[in-house]
Structure 1
Amino acid sequence: MGSSCRFAMCVFVYIFYLLVLGVCGEIEVFEVDGVKVERLKIPETCDFSVQDGDQLKIHYRGTLEDGTEFDSSYSRNSPFAFTIGKGQVIKGWDIGIKGMCIGEKRKLTIPPDKGYGDQGFPPKIPGGATLIFETELIDID
């Protein structure tokens, strides 16, 4: 293969990579009351979105900033059920889950003041810990 063909092939591969990255790599990121929200998977349709008072079923994986997992509904093979906006979960969840659609996946980065604060939740969550949750909304009742 001549050098001009190799160059053309490299350009083609690079353009293809950029197109794939543009289509597949787009993640919506925003912040609400100090909670960073990354929409990892957005459903094509959304008939209902989460509002205060909704009963939810959510799968999640919780980690510390260093990647240490402290809890996961996946390991129990059962989504977590709760009512949003009623203080049944940490503030960061009440903030970061509002507006989700069934099938949506979000990554929440929750600062200590919206998580377990300075006291933490021993033994797995130290005081002052920033929490990372990968969440997936399974159902809204």
Structure 2
Amino acid sequence: PKLGRMQAALWLVAAAALCRAADDVSADADVETPVIPEPEPFDPELGVQIIILDRVEDCTMRVADGDIIQIRHNGYYDNQQIDSDGGKPLRLQIGARNVLEGMERGMLGQCLGETRIITIPPHLGFDHPEMNFKNKPVPDGSNVAYKIKVVDIAPRPGSLSYALAPVREVLEANIITITLAVVLGGIWYFFNSQAAAAEKKKRRSAAVNTIKRAVGGKKKKKGKND
């Protein structure tokens, strides 16, 4: 059955992610069998099934509806990869339907830095009635599984980070120009301060010499009068 094959693929992905550390352990050593998280049943509210692979202990931000986020992802069907991020994060907005609805639902509440495997039923995946796929990568009525890691959650409206976001974007976009300007400004300041210090020293020396000449002239004049 398709669901059985989907579950097998799901377990294989989870096992591969959790068993990497065992590769360097000798065969005769006592190796603790890795514990693969039990998948949650299909959530009646979200409509998807979730396995949390990498849980974040100190979760500071969770994905919410409307958030603009960046993710790393791979999609699977029947032990075959059908989708990927191409090696770089995918930027999307939750609720904008830039990806499968099942992906969006499964990411709600996901912590920044957390990795999940989300099993998506057909009606929230490639059989979604509102999404017209010209070339679907899976047969009709197929469950698919996506391994997703949230790598960035953009600041939300109303927060200080959101207010400063345009400034940060300008700085990031012009970092080379700004760095060059700072370096050149530092060089100019150094040489200018050196020149100013030399000029100040020269004036001080000239003033001292003027005073010495004035004092010396008075002494000579006084000696003649005596």
TM-score, normalised by the number of residues in structure 2:
0.48
| Structure with higher RCO (Cα < 8 A, 6+ apart) | 1
Does the Cα contact within 8 Å between 1:120 and 1:129 map onto a contact in 2? no
Asked if residue 31 in structure 1 is aligned to residue 42 in structure 2, the reply is yes
| 1:10-55 Cα shifts (integer Å, max 9, x gaps) | xxx6xx84xx64xx54456353233101111101211110001100
SS, match of residue 113 in structure 1: helix
Give me the CA root mean square deviation.
Answer: 2.2
Structure number having the greater helix percentage = 2
Asked if residue 44 in structure 1 is aligned to residue 57 in structure 2, the reply is yes
Matched letter for residue 42 of structure 2: E
Q: Structure 1 residues 45 and 86 mapped into 2: Cα distance closer, same or farther (>3 Å)?
A: same
Does the Cα contact within 8 Å between 2:40 and 2:50 map onto a contact in 1? yes
Aligned sequence identity (%): 28
Alpha-carbon deviation of 1:88? Answer: 2.2
Alpha-carbon deviation of 1:132? Answer: 0.7
Equivalent position of 1:71 in the other structure: 83
Q: Structure 1 residues 123 and 35 mapped into 2: Cα distance closer, same or farther (>3 Å)?
A: closer
Tell me the number of residue pairs that the alignment of Structure 1 and Structure 2 aligns: 120
Which of 1 and 2 has greater Rg? 2
- CA distance in structure 1 between the partners assigned to 2:110 and 2:74 by the alignment: 17
Does the Cα contact within 8 Å between 1:59 and 1:78 map onto a contact in 2? yes
After TM superposition, the runs of 4+ consecutive aligned structure 1 residues lying more than 6 A away are none
Stretches of structure 1 lacking an aligned partner (at least 5 in a row): 1-12
Stretches of structure 2 lacking an aligned partner (at least 5 in a row): 1-29, 155-226
TM-score, normalised by the number of residues in structure 1:
0.74
